[in-house]
Amino acid sequence: MKKSSLKKALFQALLFLGVTSLLLLAFGNIAFAQLIQQGDVPSNIASATGGEGSIRSLILRIVDFFLLFLGLIAVIMIIYGGITYVTAGGKEEAVGKAKKIIMYAIIGIVIVLISFALVNTVIRGAGQGTETA
């Protein structure tokens, strides 16, 4: 097995384990099978959704989790790009590949940060309209 294919397989295995662990930690205590029925009261809904009583805060929590997850993947890609750069051994093709990985990961982090700010501003501000007389 080539060294690059071994690195790729190792990276994919670690990424799979990381993603699986994060998903189990994040969604292990949320009961997806429970549906909101006509007789439900806000306290029952809050207990079924991990303490969130409104749909807006639940959506915000889910979106924040996914943006955090995407940011974590981008940081992992920066680390992978750094390792690729260090182990390139002066080969121009490998150095170029590593620089592209790092550049795209940084662009990903910027997009995640902008998305986080935009989503939080829009969703938190959506229910705070002004009253007209």
pLDDT digits (tens, 9 = 90+) for 31-88: 444 555 555 566 666 666 666 666 777 778 888 888 888 889 999 999 999 999 999 8
Q: Domain-by-domain residue ranges, the chain?
A: 3-126
SS3 assignment for the chain: CCHHHHHHHHHHHHHHHHHHHHHHHHHCCCCCCCCCCCCCCHHHHHHHCCCCCCHHHHHHHHHHHHHHHHHHHHHHHHHHHHHHHHCCCCCHHHHHHHHHHHHHHHHHHHHHHHHHHHHHHHHHHHCCCCCCC
pLDDT digits (tens, 9 = 90+) for 83-119: 999 998 889 999 999 999 999 999 999 999 998 888 8
pTM exceeding the 0.75 threshold for the entire prediction: no
